[in-house]
Chain A
Amino acid sequence: MNGITPLLLASSDAQAVNVALLMSALLFACGLVGFLSRRNMIIMFLCTELMFQAAALAMIAFGKVHHDVSGQVFVIFILTVAAAEAALALGLIVLLYRRRETLDSEAWSELREA
């Protein structure tokens, strides 16, 4: 093997993999755009979940390329991190909402330096 797995697939699989990779790039870009431009804190964290989805899709597509289930195993870890992140982020949002009575992230902009 010499550490190099042959990247050979049947043509329909190759098409599915290419489309999945394109989709993961597009979904990630969408999530990034949403995270940067939305003001609602809940939607911002929802957009990070979208980026997690994109990463998971890329993992599974590359796992398909290499005939390896390790990509799928890593999606389990991604799910774990996403669940932990959701729990923490939502706890944080509830806390912040109690302080300012708004979900607008601009309400906390004085935290920035100077």
Chain B
Amino acid sequence: MDFAIPLLAPHLATHLATPPATAPLPALIAQAAASPGPALVLTIASAISAIALVFLMRPGPVGVRIAATVAGLGGFAVLVVEALKRAGGEEGSLSTVFPVVFGTVALAGAVRMVTHPRPVFAALYFILVVIATAAMFLVLGAEFMAFALIIVYAGAILITYMFVLMLAQQSPTENDGGAWYDRVPREAGSAVLVGFIMLATLSETYFSKSGQSFRLDAAERSAFDGSREAWARLDGMPKLMLESSRRALEMEWEASGAEGAPPAVVEVVRNAKGSALRLRGEEATVEVKLEDGTIRSVLLPPGLVPDNSRQVGVDLVSKYPAGLEIAGVVLLMALFGAVVLARKQIELGEDERRELAGMRRLTVEGESGGSGGIR
């Protein structure tokens, strides 16, 4: 258990007044107990949740399970409140409700999946986790990946799992509640301890500096900052850039109430660095060359920012083409591997094996010498 101490010590020490890094753990605990900082609260809350998880994993009376659920939820609520506090900003606003709700659903599904004695139900709870995670992706603005996750995970991978479960699972008899190896966990206590250490290191990494890193000056930033990167990505797509500037000119033309069709755009003017986009404050403009040779500046409306799936696609093929190819090869190899693994094993007799190895059959009557050799 010695390895746990260096991992837990920084977690305990997170918000103490700069303790020396080599301070022994008891000293740190004494210091923390003297002035309970948020790090200690976090550690205690996750420890309570971890102990509750141990009780949930073991088969036990209903009362114990309910008490463990309540304790686990309490510890979890403390963790969430602490995470929200560290983000800064106004608390209890509507926009924080969604991540908290979806996160709670995902975590409840995960705990139920780990603790449920029936494998089929565990797989169904995992589908719930997938859907809740996809909702979190939506909250974080990753629309394409949210739907890809549901299609690939809930639609394909989980169905394969269900097939194998149905294929390999012995059906439970009336009252025994399934196979014993599904009901009794293996060393739940030490497994949860390892998980707790993992959680401590992860939350230490995420939140120790969150005071500086993920909390932000809301006043100085505007919604435009996120789309600045998106506009910059549009700059790398010449064809789409030309199309967008045509659309923008059309919209400008209609808004001005001018008669007839707008002048056709021949090309987008690029500066010496090859960039066509001018970002000024909150506005993105682009200079285009019209068919009569004049150059004019067009304001790109915010509606023309490339959407999430377009950005992901362009990033995928322009920045990571090698990764894309390797992913294809990995899938192909997995296909071959699965076929080879699941193929029916054919038992060969002694004679067939000798024949495959290029040797003489043992039971050949009459003929001998080199005529039977495969090589």
Determine if B295 is an interface residue (Cβ-Cβ < 8 Å). Answer: no
Q: Are B110 and A27 in contact (CB under 8 A)?
A: yes
Determine if B79 is an interface residue (Cβ-Cβ < 8 Å). Answer: yes
Q: Are A17 and B194 in contact (CB under 8 A)?
A: no
How far, in Å, is A47 (CB) from chain B's closest CB? Answer: 7
How far, in Å, is A2 (CB) from chain B's closest CB? Answer: 17
Cα(A67)–Cα(B86), bound, Å = 20
Q: Are B84 and A18 in contact (CB under 8 A)?
A: yes
Determine if A88 is an interface residue (Cβ-Cβ < 8 Å). Answer: yes
Q: Are B136 and A23 in contact (CB under 8 A)?
A: yes
Determine if B165 is an interface residue (Cβ-Cβ < 8 Å). Answer: yes
Q: Are B185 and A18 in contact (CB under 8 A)?
A: no
Interface string of B90-124 (1 = CB under 8 A from A): 10010110111001001100110110000100110
How far, in Å, is B186 (CB) from chain A's closest CB? Answer: 5
Q: Are A50 and B113 in contact (CB under 8 A)?
A: yes
Determine the chain B residues whose CB is within 8 A of the CB of A75 once the complex forms. Answer: 142, 145, 148-149
- Which of the residues A23, A39, A42 comes within 8 Å of B103, measured between beta carbons? A23
Q: Are B168 and A11 in contact (CB under 8 A)?
A: no
Determine the chain A residues whose CB is within 8 A of the CB of B320 once the complex forms. Answer: 70, 73, 77
Interface string of A15-49 (1 = CB under 8 A from B): 11111111111111111111011111011011101
Cα(A14)–Cα(B103), bound, Å = 15
How far, in Å, is B322 (CB) from chain A's closest CB? Answer: 11
Given contacts A31-B110, A104-B179, contact A15 B145 (CB under 8 A): no
Q: Are A97 and B168 in contact (CB under 8 A)?
A: yes
Q: Are A12 and B337 in contact (CB under 8 A)?
A: no
Cα(A86)–Cα(B100), bound, Å = 30
Cα(A36)–Cα(B312), bound, Å = 35
How far, in Å, is B306 (CB) from chain A's closest CB? Answer: 10
Given contacts A27-B106, A106-B181, contact A47 B114 (CB under 8 A): yes
Cα(A72)–Cα(B140), bound, Å = 11
Between A and B, 18 residue pairs with Cβ closer than 8 Å are A10-B89, A14-B214, A15-B84, A16-B98, A18-B83, A22-B80, A29-B202, A32-B191, A34-B114, A37-B186, A42-B164, A43-B122, A43-B182, A60-B137, A69-B233, A76-B312, A80-B330, A80-B331
Interfacial residues, chain A to chain B (CB-CB below 8 A): 7-34, 36-40, 42-43, 45-47, 49-50, 53, 56-57, 60-61, 63-65, 67-73, 75-77, 79-88, 90-95, 97, 102-104, 106
Interfacial residues, chain B to chain A (CB-CB below 8 A): 53, 57, 76, 79-80, 83-84, 86-90, 93, 95-96, 98-100, 103, 106-107, 110-111, 113-114, 119, 122-123, 126, 129-130, 133, 136-137, 139-142, 144-145, 148-149, 152-153, 156-157, 160-161, 163-165, 167-169, 179, 181-182, 184-188, 190-192, 194-196, 198-199, 202-203, 206-207, 210, 213-218, 220-221, 223, 225-226, 228-229, 233, 308, 311-312, 315-316, 319-320, 323, 327, 330-331, 333-335, 337-339, 341-342
